[in-house]
Structure 1
Amino acid sequence: MIEKLDRRQKYTRKVLKESFIKRMQEKPLSAITIKEVCESADINRSTFYSHYKDIYDLAFQIEDNIIEDISATLSAYNYSKNEEALQMTEKLLEYIAENRDSCQTLFSEHGDPRFQKKVMMLAHTHLLKTLEVENTNVPYNSEYLSLYIANGSIHVVQHWLKSGMKESPKEIAELITKLAKRGLSSFSDTPPMFSI
């Protein structure tokens, strides 16, 4: 009986989440009502309230699940191994591709900027660890470099999602990794590739 209830609860949360994401593709979070989410999901309001306090609680839980998944993926890699940077980036992009509707919507103009900032800061924290391990010659501004790379990477992913994900996760991972390494190479003794 408990297993059936768990399955039913998972199903209810799944259809509410899908309904919410569809609404969010059309309008901002502040304009979405519980009534329309419930109608689209074919769930009554009392069932909604047995799972979530309000529409913001639903949004935050979806965002928190994505943040937890991204954090777990980032934590699974060894920052002292250079070849793992590409694997980690590819794995993250595969996760984004598998959760395309949610990620595309949450990273769009209708998405919560606080969620986008949380993802950026998570990426920034993990990039700093990589920079500290791999590049002892990078000066005090490795924090700025990390912010630059994290912001740029997130914008690349946003564009990839918005333009229909024509490239594979591996291709985008290779692009992001190459761009990040070019940023790092500007701190070496080699002349820059581009002049401004």
Structure 2
Amino acid sequence: MGEKLDRRKQYTRKVLKESMIDMLKQTSINHVTVKTLCEMADINRSTFYTHYRDPYDLLMTIEDEIITDLKNYLNSYSFDQDEESRLMTKKLLEYIEDMPETFRVLLNENSDPAFEKRVMNVAHQFVMSNTYDLDETVSDYYSTYIISGAIHVIKAWIAAERPESTEEMAHLIHAFVNGGTPER
């Protein structure tokens, strides 16, 4: 009986998350209501409140899961090795490619504007902890420059519905980061 409840809870949370992403395609988080989420997910309000306080809590849960996944990905690679850096970028792009609609929505104007900053902060902390040769101030600026550019390239890739493969994008981003013009 406990396993069925767990599956039901997992299913409910899944449909609520999917409904939130679908709603954010059309409207800002400020206009998402529990009522409309429940109608879209085909659940009742009391079920929603069993899992989340409000739409913002649901959105924060979605974002927190992604941030945790990104931290895990980044911490499993060593940034200072050239090939490993490219592989890490490819793996992150594959993660994004597995949930393109989620990232397209979370990185657009209808969602929480703090999400992009949170992603940048995670990447910034990782780059700062793996940049050894630079003065701390220079390293901070370098990290900000690299991460901002990479995130905007990824946003453009997602918006274009990913015409390039993750391998091609990893190569492009890696070339940009290293100050070069990529060869195709």
TM-score with structure 2 setting the length? 0.93
Q: Give the alignment partner of residue 147 of structure 2, picking from 145, 150, 160.
A: 150
Shift of 1:125: 1.4
CA distance in 2, matches of 1:167, 1:34: 38
Show the counterpart of 2:90.
Answer: 90
Shift of 1:8: 0.7
Show the counterpart of 2:70.
Answer: 70
Show the counterpart of 1:159.
Answer: 156
Aligned residues: percent identity?
Answer: 45
Show the counterpart of 2:169.
Answer: 172
Instruction: Give runs of aligned pairs for residues 56-135 of structure 1, distance below 5 A.
Output: 56-132=56-132
Shift of 1:12: 0.4
Shift of 1:26: 0.5
Query: Match of 1:182, SS?
Result: coil
Deviations 1:88-112 (A, max 9, x none): 1110110001011111100111121
Shift of 1:129: 2.8
**Number of aligned residue pairs:** 180
CA distance in 1, matches of 2:129, 2:86: 15
Runs of 4+ in 1 over 6 A off after TM superposition: none
Deviations 1:124-173 (A, max 9, x none): 111223322xxx2x445121011000000000011111111111111111
Consecutive unaligned residues in structure 1, runs of 5 or more = 184-192
Query: Which amino acid letter does the alignment assign opposite residue 166 of structure 1?
Result: P
CA contact (8 A) 2:80 2:131 kept: no
Shift of 1:115: 1.0
CA contact (8 A) 1:79 1:129 kept: no
Query: Which amino acid letter does the alignment assign opposite residue 182 of structure 1?
Result: G
CA distance in 1, matches of 2:14, 2:149: 32
Deviations 1:59-92 (A, max 9, x none): 0000000000011000001234221100111101
CA distance in 2, matches of 1:182, 1:123: 19
CA distance in 1, matches of 2:58, 2:52: 6
CA distance in 1, matches of 2:80, 2:18: 39
Consecutive unaligned residues in structure 2, runs of 5 or more = none
Show the counterpart of 1:188.
Answer: none
CA RMSD of aligned residues (A): 1.4
Query: Match of 1:131, SS?
Result: coil
